[in-house]
Chains A and B, each alone.
Chain A
Amino acid sequence: MVAEVKGMKTWSGLAKNRRRPSEYEVVTTNLQTRTRHPDQAYELSPAPLLEMNAFYKKNVSESPLQHPDWEGFRDPDEMIYRVYTRIQDQQEQYVDGLLDEHDELGHDAGLSASWLEVLERLYTPRRYLQMALQMGAAYLVQIAPASTITACAGFQDGDEFRWLSRIAYRTRELQMAHPARGFGEGERAHWEEEPAWQGFRALLEKTLATYDWGEHFAALNLVAKPAADEAHRQLGRVARRSDDGLLGLLADNQMRDSERSRRWSAALVAFSLESEGNAGVIRGWIEKWMPLAREAVGAYCGALPEQDDAANAAIGAVEAFHRSLGLDA
């Protein structure tokens, strides 16, 4: 005889849902500890005694973006780790195939001098932009007030590093094919000095220095990242016309990750709209950050060759994303 053991149907925390919880909900919900007390996100001295508790209080508990139950947020993709690695392994296999195939065709040797100059100035320095996007996603991971938001941001963090890595890979390939050019050496200078990048550099540096969790989310995921990725889409379009089919295909693949980010970001906006006042707050942030994005996209896309309105196309796509968020009163 041992003590009587009783079972339950599901986690008590999910029992109120009528629907049977998905694997995603079972393994992703309620894993956050830092939203229990506004003054004491962390189990140590409360704010203001402990600096980090004061930091969390200021940037989350007192953020203009408020919801009584952030834990209720759900990722529309229901992405979980073991699915993420499977999907991204498939995508990376596909990219390996592209790189291998183009290498065999002598792709890089056939690129024109004028296009190589574009790649040097406007493509390979993007690894710095990717680093900034990665750091931004990482901030969301540590500050988000629910584990379901942390999970989305964590995968986004991984995605940014994915493309940072692929750009580094392409940089080395281009350097090997064209050793006389500045590939692999000049990227930092281009990122820091080339006028075409300065808009994005300003946008990202300012986004990274924005610590309010809601504003950081809006600046990064609703403005900076969509703008940076749409500008990259335009680079891919121009690449196709410049006989760089490989970059076109890589950019397409990168957009898959970018679109997943937009799906969960839109869902988080929709979720936050359940609480009154948030629509105006988010709209205000978008209005605040869009001028920087317009400038960034304008400077970057304006530097693309034969760009026939790339800037308007990129900004148009970001604005279309904003219109889809249901923020208009």
Chain B
Amino acid sequence: MALLEMHEWYDLTRATNWTPAYVDEEALFPPALSDPFGIAVEQWETFDEPYKVSYRDYVETQRDKDIGAYSVKSALARADFFKKASPHWKALLALHFSPIGFAEFHSASAFARMTRFSRAPGMRNMATFGTLDEMRHGQIQMYFAYEFIKHDRVFDWAHKSSKTENWIIISLRHALDDIEHTRDAISAAIMTNFAFEQGFTNLQFIGLSADAAKAGDHTFATMLQSIQTDEARHAQIGTPLISIMIENGRKAEAQRLVDVGFWRIWKQFSALSGISMDYYTPLEFREHSLKEFMHEWVVDQFARNIKALGLDLPWYWDYFLHDIETFHHSQQIGVYIYRATEWWRPIACVSPAERDWLEEKYPGWNDTYGKCWDVVIDNIRQGRFERTVPEVPPLICNMCGLEVTGVAGTGRQVNGRRWNATDFHLDHEGRRYHFCSEPCKWVFELEPARYQGHRSIIDRVLDGTVPPGPDGFYEYMGQSFEERGVCGYDYQWIDGYDPPRAAAAE
């Protein structure tokens, strides 16, 4: 073949900046969308893509990836696997597919902002692939979620959740819109490509794939990893940007973008991956705990990149290390007891054997979270099902949109129970905002105007946005009666706690 090699001509594809003459530079690249840091265009032109791909190579590689990912098993075999899957695995699949399909497709827009508004030509090229990649991720996940809908209506939420006002979806949109969709091209890229994609996506898309492979769900395992091969490429947009920012005296700004983006996305993955890995994955298929995966992918692999680039670990790092071991355990309790507010069938996943595993991975779990579950278990055993569902709505964080929790069994004794939940609050322009943690409050204080007008689901109940009446809340969240979560095991998971009853039944 007498074709040129990519490196012989590629530089010309990134010699594409010109000086506008018929409109002002600011009209073409408004700082608020392009670069609020005032870095010279010649500096942005030094952007050197660490991971270079040509369009020609891209379409070939991506075609092959899809051939592989779509054909791991026949549709019939996939349907069969799903029908036989346990409530554990079905809950895991529902939790994955419902929010992620639309969120990834939506990300195509974030990359398009980089293509349109970045003044770094190489970044525009990479971001174009990013836009196409995210359309792929949206579409492939919609495709596989759709196969399940014939068997389980829960998967309708892969399609419908994008526009609902369900509290979990609000929480996700708030985080993603904050870091990906409402900032200039440079800030969004540092937050999205570096803090989010390099930082966390490995957790759900590689870590969880190991669990899926063990569970025999090869289609899911392959799809996850195939998606991540795109992320590994386009997530590299962030690193040259951080270097350019530091070289141009903008280290503090880059640091802040990383710190905010990292925290916001951690809260989402803590709930999503934490519950998936430490609870919904059947015990026999668990490769590692969330904590172990977090140490592998984030505390080691990603933290090294932060430091190697010349930034510091986020100021809340010690608190974050503590949060890795605690936050998702509290969230799992909340997700189970407030199950009617979710569209899938949540499960408790605290059978005696599962508790042993949790105690091994998180020493002290039984003395803390275990005690909360003991109350739930006792109520179920006594047939007091209504007492497994709280009457009062939870306190929701005005930043992450998740429940304000703490470590159970420790801290102050309130009404006979110990629970160290601390409400970090802030009074701002006439109202009080509640936060689950110091970093969530700190993010708010950095840019109050960005957040202060947003109302959490609880704010909406209190201000009358949510219609009154027993069904108003659910209807507002898009949940018909059939779409309100019930215990995925119909409470029978507590049989493990009741050997006499099991023996009597024999």
Contacts and interface: CB of A to CB of B under 8 A. Distances in A.
Note whether A and B contact each other (Cβ less than 8 A): yes
Interface of A: 1-3, 5-14, 23, 26-36, 42-46, 49-53, 80-82, 84-86, 88-89, 92, 95-96, 99-100, 103-104, 127-128, 131, 134-136, 138-139, 141-142, 147, 150-151, 153-155, 157-158, 161-162, 164-165, 168-169, 171-173, 184, 187-188, 191-192, 198, 201-202, 205-206, 208-209
A172 B153 contact: no
A3 B87 contact: yes
A205 B12 contact: no
B8 A104 contact: no
Given A32-B162, A165-B55, A205 B138 contact: no
B59 A13 contact: no
B101 A2 contact: no
Contacts of B106: 31-33
B160 A172 contact: no
B66 A81 contact: yes
A89 B12 contact: no
Contact of A1 (B20, B56, B163, B490): B490
B487 A50 contact: no
Interface in B76-126: 87, 90, 101-102, 105-106, 108-110, 112-113, 115-116, 121, 124-125
Those 9 A-B pairs whose CB atoms lie nearest each other, nearest first: A45-B453, A141-B112, A168-B12, A138-B115, A43-B173, A172-B9, A31-B105, A52-B182, A42-B177
Interface in B364-392: none
B450 A45 contact: yes
21 contacts: A2-B488, A26-B142, A26-B146, A31-B162, A36-B163, A43-B173, A45-B451, A82-B70, A85-B58, A85-B59, A85-B63, A100-B2, A104-B2, A131-B124, A141-B109, A141-B115, A157-B128, A165-B55, A173-B9, A198-B21, A208-B28
Nearest to B165: A36
Nearest to A51: B32
Given A44-B174, A141-B131, A171 B146 contact: no
A27 B116 contact: no
Tell which of A34, A88, A161, A171 has the most Cβ of chain B within 10 Å: A161
A96 B183 CA distance: 39
A297 B56 CA distance: 30
B3 A103 contact: yes
B177 A154 contact: no
Interface in B202-250: none
B22 A28 contact: no
Contacts of B315: none
Nearest to A207: B23
B16 A131 contact: yes
Contact of B492 (A1, A30, A31): A1
A198 B183 CA distance: 32
Contacts of A168: 9-10, 12-13
B159 interface: yes
Contacts of A171: 9, 12
A5 B63 contact: no
A81 B135 contact: yes
B305 interface: no
A250 B23 CA distance: 32
B77 to A, nearest CB: 18
A138 to B, nearest CB: 4
Interface string B437-461: 0000000000001111110000000
Contacts of B115: 134-135, 138, 141, 157
Contacts of A205: 20-23, 28
Interface of B: 1-4, 8-10, 12-13, 15-16, 18-23, 27-28, 32, 54-56, 58-60, 62-63, 66, 70, 87, 90, 101-102, 105-106, 108-110, 112-113, 115-116, 121, 124-125, 127-128, 131-132, 135-136, 138-140, 142-143, 146, 149-154, 156, 159-160, 162-163, 170, 173-174, 177-178, 181-183, 345, 449-454, 482, 486-490, 492
A154 B128 CA distance: 8
A132 B490 CA distance: 58
Contacts of B63: 82, 85-86, 89
A29 B101 CA distance: 11
A143 to B, nearest CB: 8
Contacts of A6: 152-153, 482
A50 B62 CA distance: 37
Given A30-B159, A42-B177, A49-B453, A5 B151 contact: yes
A184 to B, nearest CB: 6
A164 B16 contact: yes
Nearest to A162: B55
A31 B60 contact: no
A134 B9 CA distance: 19
Contacts of A103: 2-3
B128 A138 contact: yes
Contacts of B160: 11-13, 30
A53 B181 CA distance: 10
Residue of B112, B127, B153 most packed against chain A (CB within 10 A): B112
Given A2-B490, A11-B156, A99-B3, 16 more contacts: A11-B146, A12-B156, A23-B143, A28-B139, A44-B450, A45-B452, A50-B182, A52-B182, A85-B58, A128-B18, A151-B135, A161-B125, A165-B54, A201-B21, A202-B21, A209-B27
Nearest to A124: B12
Given A27-B146, A46-B453, A141-B112, A92 B139 contact: no
Contact of A2 (B54, B59, B70, B489): B489
B163 A30 contact: yes
Nearest to B170: A43
Contact of A154 (B3, B132, B490): B132
B59 A89 contact: yes
Contact of B149 (A8, A157, A187, A209): A8
A184 B14 CA distance: 12
Contacts of B16: 127-128, 131, 164
A154 B127 CA distance: 11
A100 B1 contact: yes
